[in-house]
A and B are shown apart, each in its own frame.
Chain A
Amino acid sequence: MIMDSGMTDKMAVNDHTLSKENVPALTSLDTFRIGIVILMGLVPFIFPSFRVMDVMAKIMIFTLVVASFDLLLGYTGILSFAHGMFFGIGAYSVALILYHTAAPAWYHIIIAILISLVVSIGLSLVISFFSLRVKAIFFAMLTLALAEFAHILGVQWTSLTGGEDGISFTLPWIFNFNHTFGTVWHTQINGRLVVYFLILFSTLFLFAGLVRFTRSPVGRVLQSIRDNEQRAVALGYQTFRYQIYSIVFGSSVASLGGILFAMWLCYVNPDSVFHTAIMVNILLMVLIGGMGTLYGSVIGAAFLIITENWLPQLLKSAAELVPQSHVIQVLADRWQLYFGILFVLVVLFFPKGVLGTIRAHYRQRVIESESIENQLK
């Protein structure tokens, strides 16, 4: 995770060979990453409780959504409040198609993916062309208004969306939760497990795509735009084009995340996918993990979703230890208060987000040890 561009630069320059012909050996960091993925794959077999699996699936989905938001905010310097809207577009496209189809088949999911991609790309192009050239604050406000509009549309257009009640639907083909394929290691292999692995592999694939994108020549230009757009123009980059790439790619990934989310819950309503609170959560996750780190989204998503799911319970069982105290019962009910405190602490101790701060420390150490080496020479 810490092993970022800076490190590769260092190796390249210090060696003066600069060639990358030999395949590099696995670093301990790579091993750690692979370990986490394997662990995620084993979760359904280790923990019989659905709760754990549910939390893990949500962490994976939000990792993806948050990482795609980081591409916009952390890498390109675009603050778009419409990111949650694209997540909702994905969720609703799969929900609506499966709900309004008499006998859904596997290809309806493909159609939903295509539709959500077309809508997301089209909409992000429209947003870019109309508002990217204006000042950042206006862009933020415009996207906020658009996201709110999407929420209202979801609530009001009852004939299509079912309004506030939302729509529940069943998945076709092997994804259907009622399908069972047998048992492995005391765990039933059913449609839900198939969806779990679909989420795991989709997240892995798309996240890798995001990492690759940010490390490509285009991704590097994006970072330069975030830093100093005027300078990037002076170098001869057509920054507008690059910003569009970023928005289009980021929004598409967010809408794919929405599809996974809807497939996992088999239910959507306007509040669960279009609400501003979702957008705020995404923003919080990016800040906690560290803007411009991509891998930080794993930390941010895990932190937020785990505390949201288990902090209330934890507090409740803690309060049960002292059942006679009314004050403690009341205090234990306000889990969001403690969440707020936790968040403040994280921001206080990790001003650049958890991963961002760790990386900054690490880089500083590398530079310091290097200058000591130079002095010894």
Chain B
Amino acid sequence: MTMTPAIETRNLSIQFGGHVAVDCLDIQVDPFCLKSIIGPNGAGKTTLFNLISGQYQPTQGQVLFNGKDITRMSAAKRAQLGIGRSFQLTNIFSSLTVLENVRLAIQSRQQIGMVFWKDFSKYPELEEAAYDCLQQVRLQDKTLHEASVLTHGEQRKLEIAILLALDPSVLLLDEPTAGMSLEDVPAILEIIQDIKSQQNRTILLVEHKFDMIMALSDSIAVLQEGRIICDDTPEAVSGNPVVMEAYLGGGVKHE
């Protein structure tokens, strides 16, 4: 396929002191596909995300977005271009209502961030759009709750809704199920499946739950010590003895 990858890194490296966290990494994510990144703790998964979203500047190499070099671009600029990311730790406006959390994200896309004389309710289309996002993550019944009273799982969903509200073409999901109880996980899986089935966003996913990755991914990249040791289809990766050895220490648990 000669499609331009939505996200591409070339020879990407970052060094913290003497520690090389990401080491000459080349990865390509095709548009509208879902690629998962797996690997043991400290393999550099979140660091790679920070490099793509612009939180970190690489010591070497390039980040390309739809073929365009964005290596020197700030995080805010990249967000405006359409690279949205969620954080491993929940990051929401906890004293505002659920609806307001998402409405603010929608507002940032409009050119009304400087309007100070008009009542915010004069823009019902923002609330409508926010409501749609909340529906996508199945939080439509909680619109008026203060975000701080939501359960952890619901807060993660709210975060995805905020992300969707920014309407990014690339979604970077950093462990969306982190710290979540087991009964909440299927809901998140379903939400990501929904987003994927709309075929209009590229998704990069960091996850530890193997079943979830197998169910969702178009391709899986395995990271170890800052390098990719395998990048293939889910079937090929799960059948690869080297990967299984490196990532799971031999025994794959298929629950």
Contacts and interface: CB of A to CB of B under 8 A. Distances in A.
Given A217-B112, A220-B100, A230 B144 contact: no
Contact of A215 (B95, B120, B143): B120
Interface stretch (B13-21, B42-50, B122-130, B245-253): B122-130
A74 to B, nearest CB: 11
Contact of A224 (B104, B122, B145): B104
Interface in B201-227: none
B239 interface: no
Given A9-B144, A13-B99, A227-B94, A218 B115 contact: yes
Contacts of B113: 217-218, 221, 237
A227 B96 contact: yes
Given A216-B117, A217-B113, A235-B105, A6 B144 contact: yes
A216 B116 contact: yes
A10 interface: yes
Contacts of B94: 227-228
Interface majority SS on A: helix, strand, loop or mixed?
A: helix
A20 B95 CA distance: 26
A217 B103 CA distance: 10
A6 B97 contact: yes
Contacts of B128: 18
A140 B103 CA distance: 31
B127 A221 contact: no
Contacts of B141: 374
Contacts of A230: 91
A19 interface: yes
B116 A235 contact: no
Nearest to A292: B95
B145 A367 contact: yes
B107 interface: yes
Contact of B116 (A218, A233, A366): A218
A363 B94 CA distance: 15
A18 B143 CA distance: 14
Interface in A179-220: 212-213, 215-220
B29 interface: no
A236 B80 contact: yes
B131 interface: yes
Contacts of A233: 76
In the complex, which of the residues A213, A218, A367 has the most CB atoms of chain B within 10 Å of its own CB atom? Answer: A218
A216 B91 CA distance: 24
B232 to A, nearest CB: 33
B166 interface: yes
Contacts of B79: 234-236
Contacts, number: 113
Nearest to B149: A367
B92 A231 contact: yes
B32 interface: no
A371 B189 CA distance: 26
A217 B127 contact: no
Contacts of A9: 97, 99-100, 127, 143-144
A224 B93 contact: yes
Contacts of A236: 76, 79-80, 108-109, 166
A10 to B, nearest CB: 5
B120 A217 contact: yes
Interface string B178-194: 00000000000000000
A6 B149 CA distance: 15
Contacts of A10: 143-144
A363 B100 CA distance: 15
B75 to A, nearest CB: 8
Contact of B166 (A220, A224, A235): A235
Contacts of B151: none
A8 B97 CA distance: 12
A10 B141 CA distance: 11
In the complex, which of the residues B80, B116, B121 has the most CB atoms of chain A within 10 Å of its own CB atom? Answer: B116
A169 interface: no
A276 B76 CA distance: 40
Contact of A20 (B75, B103, B122, B145): B122
B254 interface: no
Interface string A138-181: 00000000000000000000000000000000000000000000
Contact of A212 (B96, B107, B109, B117): B117
A31 interface: no
A126 interface: no
Nearest to B106: A235
Interface in A1-33: 5-6, 8-10, 12-13, 18-20
Given A10-B143, A217-B114, A363-B144, 15 more contacts: A5-B120, A9-B97, A13-B127, A18-B127, A213-B117, A215-B120, A216-B117, A217-B107, A217-B115, A218-B114, A231-B93, A232-B104, A235-B79, A367-B144, A370-B144
Interface of A: 5-6, 8-10, 12-13, 18-20, 212-213, 215-221, 223-224, 226-228, 230-237, 245, 363, 366-367, 370, 374
Task: Kindly list the 6 A-B residue pairs having the minimum CB-CB distance in the complex, ordered from nearest.
Answer: A218-B116, A18-B124, A227-B93, A236-B108, A235-B108, A216-B116
Interface of B: 75-76, 79-80, 91-97, 99-100, 103-105, 107-109, 112-124, 127-128, 131, 141, 143-146, 162, 166
22 contacts: A6-B97, A10-B143, A12-B124, A12-B127, A13-B131, A13-B144, A18-B128, A215-B121, A218-B113, A220-B103, A221-B107, A226-B95, A227-B95, A227-B96, A228-B93, A231-B93, A232-B93, A235-B166, A236-B79, A237-B108, A367-B144, A370-B144
